[in-house]
Structure 1
Amino acid sequence: MDLHALGFHETMETHEMINFKTICLVRSKLMQGICFDNDLKAMMEKDVHQTMAAIEELKELYEKARTNSDKG
């Protein structure tokens, strides 16, 4: 048994977090196009960069996910 693998519930929660962060990313990108306040636009751009970094981090974690086809 691999002690560094995610449990099934952790795999599902990681998947849900990736989905949520992806929705946040898309929303921030879309809102930038209709925003006229430069300060707000800058905040949304910062959010986009932070969200992309979070998604990459979650993807690395998701690689340790267990599936039904995994043994152990």
Structure 2
Amino acid sequence: MDNNLGIHEKLELHELMIFKNSCLAKAAALSAAAQDEALKTILSADLTAARKEVQELQGYLS
């Protein structure tokens, strides 16, 4: 990937990745504690999407 990002753009992407990782950790913790099957399904879908988004952000930063 052609990575012609400015330093401010890289910092913003890094900040976004930190936020997404935080959301990922929270969803994982809540998923382990959830008892409702519908909620577990929603959290599982959120975990999958968040992992994909973090990987995509890492691609922009590397």
Q: 4+ runs of 1 displaced by more than 2 Å?
A: none
What is the number of equivalent residue pairs in this alignment? 61
2-structure distance, mates of 1:7, 1:34: 41
SS of the equivalent of 1:29 reads helix
Q: TM (normalized to structure 1)?
A: 0.80
2-structure distance, mates of 1:36, 1:4: 44
Percent identical among aligned pairs is: 28
Higher RCO, 1 vs 2 (CA within 8 Å, ≥6 residues apart): 1
2-structure distance, mates of 1:33, 1:53: 20
RMSD: 1.2
Q: TM (normalized to structure 2)?
A: 0.93
Structure 2, gaps ≥5 residues long: none
**2:6 aligned with 1:7, yes or no?**
yes
1-structure distance, mates of 2:59, 2:15: 15
**2:32 aligned with 1:33, yes or no?**
yes
Structure 1, gaps ≥5 residues long: 64-72
